[in-house]
A and B are shown apart, each in its own frame.
Chain A
Amino acid sequence: MAGRLQLPSERLSGPGVLGRRKERGSASICNTEEGGRDKGLVAADLERILSGDEEAFRRIMKEFSPLVFSVALGITQSEADAEDVLQEVFIRLPAALTTFRWGDFSAWLKKVATRQALMWMRTEARHQRNATSFVQGERVEAQTLSRIVVDRAVSQLDPALRTVYVLKEMEGLTHAEIAEAMEISINLSQVRLFRARAALRAIIEPS
């Protein structure tokens, strides 16, 4: 077989996505790329984890807990569940690392967190706990569409739609990454995003 492919340069979480975040002036909790440590140090710590180094493991957990928690919270819509998922992800991390291929660790970790959260929902048969009463029929003024309002509406979405929406609009994954994490096609990911948006509109602006 011909020699190995010349590998493309490491893909960041997308300057486009980061760029958009920066435009909005957000200090979102997924800020590992912006303020995170040097990638080489992260890689070294990952290697140490495999050898059982607990300090390295602590460093990794400290740095990446916000990222994992954010994904888990978005999907499970419950802080208690998200905390359980957070724990499970890290407990399994050393074993999972053996399947981690060269690439962007943050993006990979988000996919792992996604799968773990989805599995959690399934095996525990969780229902939507977060039924914070959203007053139906209360029209929301165009200017006041805020994160809180969106969060409440998102919690009412069907889990499959919600997952895609959260991953795309809040966690900044691309459709390709979402497709891989959820084991669906890219086309379906786009369709679900559309359906989520349409559903959110019906919830927020019933008319």
Chain B
Amino acid sequence: MTSQHPPGLALSQYVDSELPADRREEVSRHLGHCGECRETVDFYRRLSTAAGEPREVTVPDVADRVLRRRRDLRTSGDRTLAGGDAQNGARRRLAMVASVTAALLIGSYLILAPSATAHRSSLRFESSLPQPGDVVDVEYSPSTLLATRDSLRLRIRARKAETPFPRQGVIGELRTVTLYPNEAGRFESQVEVRPGDVYLAAAVEDFEGENVDTNLGRLWDVLVADSSGHPKMAALESKYRVLEPYNWVAASAWAAEAAEQYPDNPFGWTLLYVHQSRAGALPLSDSLSRFHRAKLSELAEDFERRSADELEWLALYAQLQGSQELRELVLEELAELDPANPSVVRWRIEEALRECGPEYTCRLARLDSVWVEISQPDESVAQFGLTTAALAGDLELMRRWTSRARQVPRISLSSLADKLDPFSGMTLERLELRRTRIEELESLDDSDRPLRLTVGEFRNAVRDTLRAERAKLGVDFATVGDTVEALSAFAEGSEYAWRPEILKPYVNLLLATGDTATAAPFVGLLLADPLVGEEIENTYRFLQFTGEQLPALEREYQRRVQSSVVRGRRIPADITVSLLNGETRRIGSLAGAATVFFLWEPDLPRADRLLQDFDEVDPGLWDAHGIQRIVLIHSPEPPDVDSGPPVVLDAEYELSQHLGAYRLLSYVVVNPELEVVAQTSDVTTAFRLASAISNQAQ
């Protein structure tokens, strides 16, 4: 290291005394004989000195303005509350003082955070199954944060009948209604159910939009009934889709409830299966498997009488349980009722792939007839056609598929919006967050880690190779296959800390050619990264095209792990951490078995749900696979964990830094050699990866 210059970052850290002792020595020695680096270090020091000098500035006095603004905010509103204002204000202030005093009595230091026994808010719709045209009274019992306001805003997302599952459609029409205080100390208003509404979900916020009450992510909702008094299928689906991204536990509960309340409808049972098997990750017990098989037979008995919606769910139920024949029967029936149904379209594409194999002309011919058959622009078909034509290198066909793709209605914005929290309004922040994450991944190159290739070099190599292949006219599968081989060898041969943004284009190419076998292990790796989570749905769809099952994916992953494609940074064994019971533990003691760390932070929107997941996945199962679990926290407030994995306090972020954890509420998987293997925000994925590593180690 003394023969060449240390990286710039190291010099910067040296100036701040942030290097570990051995590195500091090395840099020091280097500085002894390198004028250039000495000048750099000198400059940084002088810069620091100058930056720390005092600056003459007049600090404005904003006190009057601030107090006036706050008074205005308190008294203004949509209407003057006759007589109630001062009284309500005083009552609320007393309530606040009382709660603060109570808090003081609890501890000898001032805790200004809402305590766990804080009042839980609730929202009540006066009718539980209203019909279009009804006007429904609504009453809100406020949370502590919102109780002091003079009026509140009710934000409603109304789903309409024409938003079918499973497309990522628009998240729903936004309506707002003002809530006014009533004599009972609650807030009330009226909500109109309009024609076409199937499902309403609501949250409450103050008018500055700063404090939102989403009922811990569950929202408050009401299903809309049809004229016979039953909720439509779209209503059931809407409720699930609203819950699922925020609160897995509540979504599970809803699935069970739907199965119980509407037992003839495949919807509830299918979702129940999904949740019980953790989307295919955990094997169902024999009795549960038998139960679902029997239920499937029962529901399928006279499937010809069912509606298109129900058939779609039935087909999925069959597919999940591996009943391909039944699935095809159901899909054929569905195709007659609704030829443009997305499940049908996907199945047709599947068939094309299966029957044609790698021959592009055959595939393109089949896709052509699918397009004509469904007689309306479909995104999946268009995308697939376009990619296949591009790989075939057929310009004429590429032009044709491009113009078809342009006919597809632009739903991309809505599907992007769908993935954002509809009630936070923090769109810009989220987008910026993504940019920061990408910057972070790139920043890893500047740090002092041993890499044979930089991110840029590998990316360029992939791109150049692919470009060379496509430049030849009439690209055939064999050539692409060679490309794939070459890339594969490339990735395996280099001692390379795995980078998702490098693998993605590679995986997409493989999937586009239908080579799911080679793609499978890399898909597994991509699943582990929260950054690419949004693309995983597309990936899964591709996998479903050939009926690939998740267990096969896992097996491939294990094989790849054995050939050491996956590497990560190593955590120093001598870091010591403190458990909440006062014991200390050396990280080195974790070596020899796989570990999953869960980074927990109170008050973030999904904190409770994720901790429950971590806790609830059967502890015996983790033990049976020899996986160690640790909850990592940064603030002194301990989480509420019963059977508990040990909880470790990392107030200085030291351990987190080594885990490379850039995201709170995520799981970090560490292998028996104390190398970080992956990070994910899904407990199921964390479990699968950890068990794959564990089993491979044994």
Contact = CB atoms under 8 A, between A and B. Distances in A.
A98 B649 contact: no
A147 B54 contact: yes
Contact of A151 (B55, B96, B637): B55
Interface in A136-156: 142, 145-147, 149-151, 154
A184 B440 contact: yes
Interface stretch (B44-52, B186-194, B505-513): B44-52
B662 A185 contact: yes
A69 to B, nearest CB: 5
A169 B436 contact: no
B97 interface: yes
A170 B644 CA distance: 43
A101 B637 CA distance: 9
Interface string A61-98: 11001100110010000010001001100111011011
Contacts of B11: 194
Nearest to B73: A91
A166 to B, nearest CB: 8
Contacts of A191: 9, 443, 446-447
Interface of A is mostly: helix
Given A5-B636, A97-B112, A147 B55 contact: yes
B13 interface: yes
A201 B36 CA distance: 13
Contacts of A186: 653, 656-657
Interface string B428-449: 1100110010011001101100
A70 B676 CA distance: 39
B406 to A, nearest CB: 32
A125 to B, nearest CB: 10
B447 A187 contact: yes
B210 interface: yes
Contacts of B211: 95
B100 A187 contact: no
B114 A98 contact: yes
Given A51-B93, A95-B211, A7 B636 contact: yes
B581 interface: yes
Contacts of B478: none
B46 A142 contact: yes
A122 interface: yes
Contacts of B439: 160, 188
Given A46-B110, A47-B100, A122-B428, A65 B62 contact: yes
Contacts of B662: 184-185, 187-188
B184 interface: no
B59 A66 contact: yes
B618 interface: no
B12 interface: yes
A100 B109 CA distance: 12
B588 to A, nearest CB: 22
A58 B68 CA distance: 12
B446 A194 contact: yes
Contacts of B73: 91
B8 interface: yes
A27 to B, nearest CB: 6
Nearest to A201: B43
A183 interface: yes
A106 to B, nearest CB: 15
B624 interface: no
B9 A194 contact: yes
A53 to B, nearest CB: 10
B173 interface: no
A13 interface: no
Nearest to B11: A194
B440 A26 contact: no
B116 interface: no
B52 A26 contact: yes
A146 to B, nearest CB: 6
Given A7-B636, A90-B62, A147-B51, A51 B100 contact: yes
Nearest to B657: A186
A37 interface: no
Given A87-B65, A98-B113, A26 B444 contact: no
Contacts of A69: 57, 59-60
A1 B57 contact: no
Contact of B53 (A7, A26, A122, A190): A26
B640 A1 contact: yes
A160 B443 CA distance: 13
A181 interface: no
A176 interface: yes
B70 interface: yes
A193 B8 CA distance: 11
Q: Chain A: interface residue count, which band? A: 35 or more
Interface centre among A2, A83, A165, A201 (most CB of B within 10 A): A2
Given A5-B638, A50-B100, A70-B57, A87 B69 contact: yes
A6 interface: yes
Nearest to A119: B429
A187 B444 contact: yes
B457 interface: no
B210 A95 contact: yes
A1 B644 contact: yes
A147 B112 contact: no
Contacts of B652: 176
Most buried by B among A24, A61, A191: A191
Contacts of A79: 57
A61 B63 contact: yes
A73 B52 contact: no
A12 interface: no
A194 B52 contact: no
Nearest to A172: B52
B8 A198 contact: yes
A177 to B, nearest CB: 10
Given A54-B67, A90-B62, A90-B66, A147 B653 contact: no
A188 B50 contact: no
A20 interface: yes
A179 interface: yes
A129 interface: no
Contacts of B325: none
A83 B66 CA distance: 11
B636 A102 contact: yes
Nearest to B114: A98
Given A54-B67, A146-B53, A151-B55, A197 B44 contact: yes
Best-buried of A92, A101, A170, A185 by chain B (most CB within 10 Å): A185
Contacts of A26: 52-54
Contacts of B81: none
Interface in A24-66: 24, 26-29, 43, 46-47, 50-52, 54, 57-58, 61-62, 65-66
A4 B100 contact: no
B436 A188 contact: yes
B651 interface: yes
Counting from the closest, the 7 A-B pairs by CB-CB distance are: A194-B12, A147-B53, A185-B662, A169-B51, A2-B581, A191-B443, A90-B66
25 contacts: A6-B582, A7-B636, A26-B53, A26-B54, A28-B52, A29-B57, A47-B110, A58-B63, A61-B66, A62-B63, A69-B57, A86-B60, A90-B62, A94-B70, A95-B145, A98-B112, A98-B113, A98-B114, A101-B637, A142-B46, A154-B51, A176-B652, A186-B656, A190-B18, A191-B447
Interface of A: 1-8, 20-21, 24, 26-29, 43, 46-47, 50-52, 54, 57-58, 61-62, 65-66, 69-70, 73, 79, 83, 86-87, 90-92, 94-95, 97-102, 122-123, 142, 145-147, 149-151, 154, 160, 165, 169-170, 175-176, 179, 183-188, 190-194, 197-198, 200-201, 205
Given A47-B104, A47-B110, A123-B428, 17 more contacts: A1-B580, A29-B57, A29-B59, A50-B97, A51-B96, A83-B60, A86-B62, A97-B112, A98-B112, A102-B110, A165-B51, A169-B47, A184-B440, A185-B440, A191-B443, A193-B16, A194-B13
